[in-house]
Structure 1
Amino acid sequence: MTEINHSITLKFRKFNRFYTNVLGFLNEHIYDSPFSLTETRILFEIHNTADCTAKLIQDTLGLDRGYVSRILKRFEKENMVYKKRSEEDSRNHYIYLTSFGESIYKKLETKANQQIEYMLKHIDGPHQEKLTEAMNTIECILSEHLPPEKSDVSIRDYYISDDIKLMIEKQRAFYAETHGWDDSFLDYLHETFDADIENIWIAESAGRFAGCVGLVKHPGKTVQLRWFLVDAAFRHQGVGTRLLKHLIDYCKDNQFERIFLWTVSTMAEARPLYEKFGFRLTEVKDETLLWGQRLREERWDAELG
């Protein structure tokens, strides 16, 4: 492995900060639009890709399936795109821009060109050539030496308000799509974050949400495990095991004696993982109507003392 020069790292970070400010300046002065950068990139992919699919957009841009789906639904509602079922595989739907979508794309493309022209008009010819050569050098070196496209998953043990919003949305979408839970679960989710939070761990890969888990304080040396979720795109990669290991190690380091969690009997896929980390079923409630479904709640405990 190549030895990293610390001064190079600092220069790299300095350039990143500088170029981020450049992009922010251009967006503020030129790129007025009701569409986010991600939405604009999706329009670009649809326009420039023959027989474009939602899966292709996900893979190309490294985006979450639910996120792409919501954007495409918005585009359909605004009559910007339409779908056509594949004749070869009825499970696939190709996505195309409508004439209205094409007109919007062309306007966004024009504005994107104006961004660059706005910058270049203040730079003389020789320096423009030098600038593009430097860009080409950066692209070539990074393209040749970056690791494979699939990034490693990292786990951080701090969170900000945006993380809470994303966790709530991920949980809502998962339980609605997979288990048919209704909107009353969303209200419940918001309430759970009013608790006394001990810690939260976020799993990420190249800036994408991969999973999460958290701890809530209880009296004495007891904590409650909450919000455990692994994104569908990262399942069967050991993300859940790593998240729970971080949580268990933290509890041991901080001398907690007991961890408990509440789940429902229909969530059988998580049971082997709970058992692996020493959790045992300790209580089962009677079946009741909960979040639009007939559910039976279960409590699982792990003794650390």
Structure 2
Amino acid sequence: MKINESAAGLKFRKFNRFYTNVLGFLNEHIYDSPFSLTETRILFEIYNTPNCTAKDLQDKLVLDRGYVSRMLKQFEKEDLIYKEKSKADARHHYIYVTETGKTIYKKLEKKANEQVELMLKEIDDEKQHKLATAMEEIEAILSQSLSSKTSGISIRDYYLSDDIHLLIEKQRQFYAEAHGWDNTFLAYLHETFDAEIEKIWIAESGGKFAGCVGLVKQDKKTVQLRWFLVDAAFRGRGLGTQLLEHLVTYSREMKFERIYLWTVSSMAEARPLYEKFGFRLSEVKEETSLWGQHLTEERWDLELS
């Protein structure tokens, strides 16, 4: 008899809650050590990944850039890791485990094996084999399912405080790397989130940030488009169009009469998309020194009424 989708979903969530408790057995101060589960995973990846970089850790473990940076600084302070500049590209640093780090890692690995043996101690050989087979089947089925959906992107229209920190960092990183804007832009970014936020849309894929856009309310009739960004890994897939569709549709439903945005003339790649949705250039300011560059600001407006 085929299990219907809702029943399967309930069983999946029940198992997930149970297995979360199993992981809790190893979590927090894992293996009676001062390391959390995530810290142990970071050390594991550095130990087992040739020429590991901070970006490798972010991507593989789906961790925030700031969190990884803080952990690496702490690991350096404790003499667990060291960094070396890449000879091919001085902007990149490879991360390696020190002799002290190797010693601690091997102790953690030994303790991990002991705890697994402890969990299996009361299970007979036949049931251990059955358990291992079931685990392999779960991994195979979910791996196939997840790999077939890696291109899927979801967009949510709510945000948490951690999302604001991530959006600020993503914006800072993009404009620093792509346009050379300096740290004065970071202070400006923080100020923009002090406004009356109407809505923020965040796009994600496989738990990773893919893009965002937001609305700031100016008055009952007018909203400002802000924080429009598509991550480099997701460009060329129509995500920018999807984000703006959500924003414009919402603005019409809420009976706003005008959406406007400020950009700079050097960001020409966004112009066709703004024009596609009916935005028109309405104001151009004189070139000025801004965020470490000479920039010409532009205002674009979309009339909804």
Q: TM-score, normalised by structure 2?
A: 0.83
Distance in structure 1 (CA, Å) of the matches to 2:43 and 2:180: 31
Q: What residue in structure 1 maps to residue 180 of structure 2?
A: 180
Distance in structure 2 (CA, Å) of the matches to 1:56 and 1:214: 27
Residue 134 of structure 1 pairs with residue 134 of structure 2: yes
- 1:213–1:243: 8 Å Cα contact kept in structure 2? yes
Q: What residue in structure 1 maps to residue 162 of structure 2?
A: 162
What does the per-residue CA deviation read over 1:45-78, in whole Å, with 9 as the maximum and x for residues that have no partner?
A: 44334x4454993697275896798479748955
Please provide the CA RMSD for this pair. 3.3
Residue 258 of structure 1 pairs with residue 263 of structure 2: no
Q: What residue in structure 1 maps to residue 224 of structure 2?
A: 224
Q: What residue in structure 1 maps to residue 124 of structure 2?
A: 125
Distance in structure 1 (CA, Å) of the matches to 2:143 and 2:85: 35
- 1:285–1:296: 8 Å Cα contact kept in structure 2? yes
Distance in structure 2 (CA, Å) of the matches to 1:63 and 1:177: 21
SS in 1 for 2:226: strand
CA apart distance, 1:152: 0.7
Distance in structure 2 (CA, Å) of the matches to 1:294 and 1:74: 35
SS in 2 for 1:12: helix
What does the per-residue CA deviation read over 1:178-219, in whole Å, with 9 as the maximum and x for residues that have no partner?
A: 222222222211111111111110000011000100001111
Matches within 5 A, 1:196-211: 196-211=196-211
Matches within 5 A, 1:232-243: 232-243=232-243
- 1:155–1:201: 8 Å Cα contact kept in structure 2? yes
In structure 2, relative to structure 1, the CA distance for the partners of 1:187 and 1:69 (3 Å cut) is same
SS in 1 for 2:148: coil
Distance in structure 1 (CA, Å) of the matches to 2:55 and 2:194: 39
Q: What residue in structure 1 maps to residue 248 of structure 2?
A: 248
SS in 2 for 1:158: coil
In structure 2, relative to structure 1, the CA distance for the partners of 1:257 and 1:162 (3 Å cut) is same
In structure 2, relative to structure 1, the CA distance for the partners of 1:94 and 1:184 (3 Å cut) is closer
CA apart distance, 1:99: 2.8
- 1:284–1:296: 8 Å Cα contact kept in structure 2? yes
Q: What residue in structure 2 maps to residue 22 of structure 1?
A: 22
The number of residues matched between the two structures is: 299
Q: Which moved more, 1:140-149 or 1:5-14?
A: 140-149
Residue 97 of structure 1 pairs with residue 97 of structure 2: yes
CA apart distance, 1:140: 2.9
1:125 is aligned with what amino acid? D
In structure 2, relative to structure 1, the CA distance for the partners of 1:76 and 1:263 (3 Å cut) is farther
Q: What residue in structure 2 maps to residue 61 of structure 1?
A: 60
In structure 2, relative to structure 1, the CA distance for the partners of 1:147 and 1:189 (3 Å cut) is same
Residue 293 of structure 1 pairs with residue 293 of structure 2: yes
Q: Which moved more, 1:207-216 or 1:142-151?
A: 142-151
CA apart distance, 1:17: 2.2
In structure 2, relative to structure 1, the CA distance for the partners of 1:150 and 1:179 (3 Å cut) is same
In structure 2, relative to structure 1, the CA distance for the partners of 1:257 and 1:232 (3 Å cut) is same
Q: What residue in structure 2 maps to residue 273 of structure 1?
A: 273
- 1:212–1:227: 8 Å Cα contact kept in structure 2? yes
Distance in structure 2 (CA, Å) of the matches to 1:20 and 1:10: 15
- 2:210–2:234: 8 Å Cα contact kept in structure 1? yes
- 1:82–1:98: 8 Å Cα contact kept in structure 2? no
2:13 is aligned with what amino acid? R
CA apart distance, 1:282: 0.8
What does the per-residue CA deviation read over 1:87-136, in whole Å, with 9 as the maximum and x for residues that have no partner?
A: xxx45986543434423432442343354345345x33354444333212
- 1:54–1:69: 8 Å Cα contact kept in structure 2? no
In structure 2, relative to structure 1, the CA distance for the partners of 1:65 and 1:268 (3 Å cut) is farther
Q: What residue in structure 2 maps to residue 152 of structure 1?
A: 152
2:48 is aligned with what amino acid? N
Distance in structure 1 (CA, Å) of the matches to 2:135 and 2:109: 21
